[in-house]
Amino acid sequence: MKYIIEHLDPELYDWCLLEYTHISEIVGKENLIFTNVRNVEERKKLERLGTVEEKSVTQLKYPRLCILDPAASKTLEPADKQSFDYLLFGGILGDWPPRQRTKKELTRKLDAQSRNLGQPQMSTNTAVYVAKKIIDGKKFSEFQFIEELVIPVEDGEEIELPFRFVVENGKPVLAKGYVEFVRKQDVF
């Protein structure tokens, strides 16, 4: 199975690179394709993580493609491994409330089937993690999730991220350095 990330943000933000690095660790560089990476410097940064295409996935041909879209009517299941060679994810920071940008940017533009990973939004790396586990045989119903991540900062303050995260062994599955990265941000 190959995993395609259609880069939809206007630039390659640091948090995005952190997530993309995690995705490469999850699926392996040889199984990861980044599309719609228009900036030469950004393409260079991503080449160490996977194959990089300047063009959008809507301009490229990937047979047996499945779009992972929260608005899809069917949930991804292990048997889908037999039907698809590529899983496509929208690499974009989710909005709250959700605006269904995956549907607008990808699902409506491509002649491909779509599947969901539940309705709540996930970070791109969380979505890839869940999809990889499902393709490897785990059922969606076997996952444990938290519906938002609360990160303590200082003096009783905390940052709440309103996205779904996988929990394993009592801890959320996160990119290396993710909590520290979020704590350092001024945008919250």
CATH 3.40.50.300 fits 2-138, yes or no: no
Instruction: State the Cα torsion 69-71-73-74 to the nearest 10°.
Output: 30
Res 49 pLDDT > 90: yes
Domain boundaries, the chain: 2-138
Instruction: State the Cα torsion 165-168-169-175 to the nearest 10°.
Output: -70
How far apart, in Å, do the first and last CA atoms of the chain sit? 36
Res 2 pLDDT > 50: yes
Residue type, 79: A
Place of tokens 């392996």: 28
Pairing relation of β-strands 149-152 and 158-161? Answer: antiparallel
User: What is the mean predicted confidence (pLDDT) over 146-169?
Assistant: 91
Provide the pLDDT for residue 75. 98
**Residue-by-residue DSSP string for 1-42:** -EEEEEE-SSS--HHHHHHHHHHHHHH-GGGEEEE----HHH
For the segment 72-126, what is each residue's pLDDT rounded down to a tens digit?
999 999 999 999 999 999 855 555 455 555 655 676 778 899 999 998 888 999 9
Res 7 pLDDT > 90: yes
Indicate the pTM of the whole model.
0.91
Per-residue CA distances from 145 to 1, 55, 126, 138, 163 (Å): 24, 34, 10, 14, 10
Q: Give 188's pLDDT tier (boundaries 50, 70, 90).
A: very low
